Amino acid sequence: MIRWSIPALVVAACVGYLIYSASGGSAEYYLTVSQLRSHPVNGEVRVAGVVQTDVQKSNGGLHVTFTEKDGTASVPVEYSGTLPDIFKPGITVVAEGRLGADGVFHATTLLAKCPSRFSTTPYTQ
């Protein structure tokens, strides 16, 4: 038993180090729009908010600008790429990218909260 606890500890230490170093380098803050406004973070962050009605598409739909808003604050977002299918005003998106000096959030990925098998719209009638 003693003989195997040594390699086990070595593996555990390696795994611990890998987790520590990898998460230190690539963990991003997950913020709401108001949190982004009140505590600007340098570097990549993910910002969740609701898409407003000012969606402007250009370049045949490959470039888009819109305003992302939560209860109190809003931020203009700029993104290039294909849009998630359910992207439209009113849905919640998570934009991954950084806040530029121009006050615009430059998103590199745009994730829409996608309807899963388990989300149901309760029937109201």
Query: Which chain residues interact with another protein by CB under 8 A?
Result: 1, 3-4, 7-8, 11-12, 14-15, 18-19, 21-23, 25-31, 35, 39, 46, 48, 57, 59-62, 80-83, 85-88, 92, 94, 96, 111-123, 125
- 91 touches 112 (CB < 8 A): yes
For 11, phi then psi, to 5°, come to -60, -45
Which of residues 91 and 104 has its CB atom nearest to another protein in the complex? Answer: 91
Give the position of tokens 């849905």: 91
Which of residues 73 and 83 has its CB atom nearest to another protein in the complex? Answer: 83
Shortest Å distance, C-beta 119 to another protein:
5
Shortest Å distance, C-beta 89 to another protein:
11
DSSP 107: E
Beta-strand relationship, 56-58 and 45-51? unpaired
End-to-end CA distance of the chain: 65
